[in-house]
Amino acid sequence: MFERLLELEKKFEQINNDLMDPEIISDNKQYAALMKEYKNLTPIIEKFREYKKAKDSLDEANELLDAGGLEKDFKEMVQTQLEESKEQTAKCEEELKIMLLPKDPNDDKNVIIEIRGGAGGEEASLFANSLYRMYTMYADSKGWKHEVMNANETELGGYKEISFSVEGEGAYSRLKYESGVHRVQRVPETESQGRVHTSTVTVAVLPEAEEVEFEINEATDLKIDVFRASGAGGQHINKTESAVRITYLPTGLVVECQDERSQFKNKERALKILRSRLYEEQLRAQENEIAAQRRSQVGTGDRSERIRTYNFPEGRVSDHRIGLTIYRLEQFLNGNIDEVIDALATADQAAKLSAQSE
């Protein structure tokens, strides 16, 4: 590990020098790439230098104590230095192990989130709306931008399905744990007997794919249909065929977009969703070939995996992957979801560390 850290420190210093080179400064693309690498390396190098400083202090204290002949007061001071430095080096070493874990290449990407009502009819659609609200409030708290790409609304204000983008630094790194089946247990407003109903909603978090990452040949791979948009209560209805349906012919995957009044914009959004879905499928296929990587994940990210329960009568949220339950349901649905995401990220790191040591 320390050999690797020394190599990274050399690389960090080289990048630092390169960033002062006038030729590199004048090349916007190269300069931006180096700045990104410099930014990613900075916390690791700072922690490594903190470790080296603590290690030097520990070695100095050991040398003084081994030499002997110290006065009582000074010896006590050196002993304190020894204990503090030992604790600090151990702490830094553990933090460095986590920082050096292979980084998910998608962590810095923007995301497309797809929410669909599952079992439970209208109640599931209403909860799909609640989850959409939760994620957009969370995005707002992070200063991220979000935009609806496609929505299929119900008469009561729910969503049979809704797709939206979230743009911001680290969006995928935080939201990737949300893929799966979300179960809600509550008494619907339409339930006269006061019985608790169980409904499900599926969430898919897709890293946004660039054209260079997944190329599509429009002429041979796609069938594009246009039609008039429609929606609950007359919403989104227009007199022109602005809605777009794209079928990816090699697999039969279908994407629709009708939220914009412009056919061009709907097509653009549908292609973005399609590219991200295909990219996600490609990633899943690659991961399934690597058993160790699959074992070290917190949850599979599979849309069929039940990951969380929201129980309204008890006011609790339970994440089944890590056995965590919190009793702050209202705050959670208002976008305060960091506590659970932090716990999932920590569990993910622990699983990867364990897999690395096997």
DSSP per position, 282-336: HHHHHHHT-HHHHHTSSS---TTSEEEEEETTTTEEEETTTTEEES-HHHHHTT-
Q: Is the pLDDT of residue 153 over 60?
A: yes
Report yes or no: 160 and 90 within 8 Å, Cβ to Cβ: no
Residue 122, in any domain of the structure: yes
Q: What is the distance between the alpha carbons of residues 150 and 157, in angstroms, rounded to a whole number?
A: 15
Query: Would you state the pLDDT for residue 245?
Result: 87
Residue 106, in any domain of the structure: no
Q: Is the pLDDT of residue 333 over 90?
A: yes
Do residues 235 and 267 both lie within one domain? yes
Comparing 11-25, 111-125, 190-204, 213-227, the range with the smallest average pLDDT is 213-227
Comparing 29-38, 125-134, 135-144, 237-246, the range with the smallest average pLDDT is 237-246
CA 136 to chain centre: 14
Residue 105, in any domain of the structure: no
Do residues 79 and 144 both lie within one domain? no
Q: Is the pLDDT of residue 330 over 90?
A: yes
Query: Would you state the pLDDT for residue 230?
Result: 65
Q: What is the distance between the alpha carbons of residues 181 and 202, in angstroms, rounded to a whole number?
A: 4
Length of the chain (residues): 358
Do residues 27 and 162 both lie within one domain? no
Do residues 346 and 270 both lie within one domain? yes
Average pLDDT, the chain: 84
Question: Given pLDDT bands bounded at 50, 70 and 90, which one contains residue 67?
Answer: confident
Do residues 120 and 73 both lie within one domain? no
Residue 357, in any domain of the structure: no
For residue 184, give the nearest of 141, 237, 123, 230 by alpha carbon. Answer: 123
Q: What is the distance between the alpha carbons of residues 120 and 212, in angstroms, rounded to a whole number?
A: 40
Residue-range definition of the domain harbouring residue 217: 111-351
Decide which of 99, 123, 140 is a domain's last residue. Answer: 99
Decide which of 99, 132, 165 is a domain's last residue. Answer: 99
Q: What is the distance between the alpha carbons of residues 125 and 134, in angstroms, rounded to a whole number?
A: 14
Contacting residues for 217 by C-beta, under 8 A, at least 6 apart: none
Residue 169, in any domain of the structure: yes
Question: How does 68-83 read in b/e, with b if 16+ C-beta sit within 10 Å?
Answer: eeeeeeeeeebeebbe
Do residues 69 and 194 both lie within one domain? no
Do residues 238 and 324 both lie within one domain? yes
Do residues 228 and 310 both lie within one domain? yes
Q: Is the pLDDT of residue 223 over 90?
A: no
Question: Given pLDDT bands bounded at 50, 70 and 90, which one contains residue 121?
Answer: confident
Do residues 90 and 116 both lie within one domain? no
Based on the number of CB atoms within 10 Å of its own CB, is 172 exposed (0-12), middle (13-18) or buried (19 or more)?
A: buried
Residue 104, in any domain of the structure: no
Question: Given pLDDT bands bounded at 50, 70 and 90, which one contains residue 118?
Answer: confident
Report yes or no: 207 and 276 within 8 Å, Cβ to Cβ: yes
Query: Would you state the pLDDT for residue 213?
Result: 55
Residue 266, in any domain of the structure: yes
Count: domains in the chain: 2
Decide which of 65, 99, 133 is a domain's last residue. Answer: 99
Average confidence (pLDDT) over 298-324:
83
Q: What is the distance between the alpha carbons of residues 63 and 66, in angstroms, rounded to a whole number?
A: 5
Query: Would you state the pLDDT for residue 208?
Result: 83
Residue 95, in any domain of the structure: yes
Report yes or no: 241 and 227 within 8 Å, Cβ to Cβ: yes
For residue 179, the one-letter residue type is S
C-alpha distance from residue 183 to each of 99, 128, 190 (Å): 34, 10, 19
Tens digit of each residue's pLDDT (9 = 90 or more) over 20-31: 999 999 998 899
Do residues 93 and 116 both lie within one domain? no
The CATH number linked to 138 is 3.30.70.1660
Do residues 89 and 152 both lie within one domain? no
Do residues 68 and 121 both lie within one domain? no
Cα atoms in the Cβ-side hemisphere of radius 13 Å centred on 67: 11
